């Protein structure tokens, strides 16, 4: 027993040495390579060593086709209505033991489950696929390359692929567009061209390089079809603004500021209230334009106040000077109105 243990230990150490000398491909020995194993037999005749004899065996390693496509990250891609070139990111990995081309298709769906416990409710437009040419993991317009396939992807290597699309206007918060990226293995063929479709060897093992599909089922593909797919989605986050316009009589020529009435010569204060709903995205560059009717005259001495507040829906006499009056119109811009925020623009006019 002790002798056997020592022997096993010696064999294991030798095996490790051999393994370390061979490049460690997760996908295994390269397809098409020849494995030759030669046996040598030494013998003696009459106690004298003779010339050794032996035999060799060779066979061709067959091709195991396998691949994965995976969403990069674990969350949906947040987009704004009207956003162009919105990006979802995937990784395509060749886990075959051969260099292959991979045809790429980005498909939309109509309804049904999205990728992140949500439901598809709209389609994006202008869907395109780019490969991460500069390998920085980010989509760079003008640098990353528009593709329909990955060319000559070596065994055990992967590429980052971007699905880039435009988001329509007039969508509400929570709208979802799911996209599925499918990669299908193809013969490598020549560089810079897409190889022909793979054909799995259906009959008995041949002396040449046979092909075996080893892939599993992805989001929309089947097991052992030389394809794999993964899903991601776009989810809309937009502002939900409510605009309210109020007026209050500040004074009139008869009553002054005590119970003033809206008679000619009275001064009115107009207030425009901009409110953004909870759970919304921040609205920016909120530009307000208010053309006054000819029956009132803008009070230039009072000015315009922006970014004011309200109390129970009534405008407070606050805010900071801003905005402008030109060509009969009051205008002003609120830099941003975040979710649950309310901001105002105030100005005064007299009744003609
Ligand atoms: Ca859709
Ligand atoms: Ca890039
Ligand atoms: Ca090719
Ligand atoms: Ca598959």
pLDDT in tens, 175-218: 999 999 999 999 998 899 999 999 999 999 999 999 999 999 99
User: Of the bound ligands, which one is closest to the alpha carbon of residue 112?
Assistant: 1
Å from CA of 170 to ligand 3 middle: 42
Provide the pLDDT confidence category of residue 9 given band limits of 50, 70 and 90.
very low
Pick the closest to residue 104 from 233, 234, 229 (CA basis): 229
| pLDDT over threshold 90, residue 15 | no
Nearest ligand to the C-alpha atom of residue 176: 1
Q: At residue 7, does pLDDT exceed 60? A: no
Return the H-helix or E-strand segment holding 10. helix 2-21
Residue partners of 184: CB distance under 8 A and separation at least 6: 102, 103, 105, 226, 227
For residue 161, report the distance from its CA to the centre of ligand 2, in Å: 9
pLDDT for 2 equals 36
- What φ, ψ does residue 292 adopt, rounded to 5°? -80, 145
Residues lining ligand 3 (ion), CB within 5 A?
101, 151, 188-189, 195
Identify which ligand lies nearest to the alpha carbon of 139: 2
**Ligand number, closest to the Cα atom of 222:** 4
Q: CA Rg, the chain, in Å?
A: 36
**Model pLDDT for residues 274-313, shown as the tens digit of each residue:** 999 999 999 999 999 999 999 999 999 999 999 999 999 9
Render pLDDT for 92-113 as a digit per residue (tens, 0 to 9): 999 999 999 999 999 999 999 9
Å from CA of 219 to ligand 1 middle: 15
Give the per-residue pLDDT at 166.
98
Distance 309 CA to ligand 1 centre (A): 40
To the nearest whole percent, how much of the chain has pLDDT over 90?
92
pLDDT band at 114 (very low <50, low <70, confident <90, very high): very high
Residue 25's pLDDT band (cuts 50, 70, 90): low
Please list all protein residues whose beta carbon sits less than 5 angstroms from ligand 2, which is an ion.
132, 134, 136, 138, 140, 144
Give the pair of three-digit tokens for residue 305. 């106040």
Whether residue 19 is predicted with pLDDT greater than 90 in this model: the reply is: no
H helix runs in 258-315, sequence order: none
Confidence of residue 1 (pLDDT cuts 50, 70, 90): very low
Going along the chain from its start, the domains and CATH numbers come out as 64-236 (2.60.40.10), 241-351 (2.60.40.2430)
Residues lining ion ligand 1 (Cβ < 5 A) are 108, 120, 123, 177
- Mean pLDDT value across the chain: 93
Ligand sitting nearest the alpha carbon of 95: 4
Give this prediction's pTM: 0.80
Separation between Cα atoms, residue 210 and residue 220, nearest integer Å: 27
Question: Rounded to 5 degrees, what are φ and ψ at 7?
Answer: -65, -45
Could you say which ligand is closest to the alpha carbon of residue 142?
2
Instruction: Starting from the CA of residue 190, give the closest ligand.
Output: 3
Rounded Cα–Cα distance for residues 183 and 227 (Å)? 6
Ligand nearest to the CA of 225: 4
Task: Note the pLDDT of residue 50.
Answer: 96
């Amino acid at each position: 027993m002790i002798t056997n243990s020592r022997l096993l230990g010696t064999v294991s150490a030798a095996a490790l040495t051999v393994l370390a000398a061979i490049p460690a491909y997760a996908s295994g020995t390269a397809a098409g390579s020849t494995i030759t194993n030669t046996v040598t037999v030494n013998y003696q005749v009459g106690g004298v060593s003779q010339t050794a004899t032996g035999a060799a065996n060779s066979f061709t390693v067959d091709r195991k086709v396998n691949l994965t496509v995976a969403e990069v990250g674990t969350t949906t891609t947040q987009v704004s209505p009207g956003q162009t070139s919105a990006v979802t990111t995937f990784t395509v990995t060749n886990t075959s033991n051969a260099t292959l081309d991979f045809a790429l298709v980005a498909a939309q769906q109509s309804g049904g489950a999205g990728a992140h416990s949500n439901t598809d409710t709209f389609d994006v437009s202008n869907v395109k696929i780019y490969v991460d040419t500069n390998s920085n993991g980010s989509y760079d317009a003008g640098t990353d390359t528009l593709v329909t396939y990955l060319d000559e992807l070596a065994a055990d290597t992967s590429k980052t692929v971007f699905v880039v699309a435009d988001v329509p206007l007039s969508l509400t918060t929570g709208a979802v567009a799911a996209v599925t990226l499918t990669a299908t293995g193809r013969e490598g063929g020549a560089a810079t061209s897409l190889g022909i479709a793979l054909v799995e060897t259906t009959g008995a093992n041949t002396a040449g390089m046979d092909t075996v599909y080893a892939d599993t089922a992805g989001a929309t593909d089947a097991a052992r079809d030389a394809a794999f797919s993964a899903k991601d989605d776009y989810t809309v986050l937009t502002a939900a603004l409510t605009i309210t316009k109020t007026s209050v009589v500040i004074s009139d020529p008869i009553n002054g500021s005590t119970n003033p009435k809206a008679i000619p010569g009275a001064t009115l204060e107009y207030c425009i209230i901009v409110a953004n709903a909870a759970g919304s995205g921040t609205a920016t560059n909120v530009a307000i334009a208010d053309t006054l009717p000819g029956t009132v005259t803008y009070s230039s001495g009072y000015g315009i106040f922006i970014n004011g507040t309200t109390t129970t829906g009534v405008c407070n006499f606050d805010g900071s000077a801003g905005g402008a009056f030109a060509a009969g119109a009051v205008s002003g811009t609120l830099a941003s109105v975040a979710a649950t925020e309310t901001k105002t623009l105030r100005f005064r006019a007299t009744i003609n």
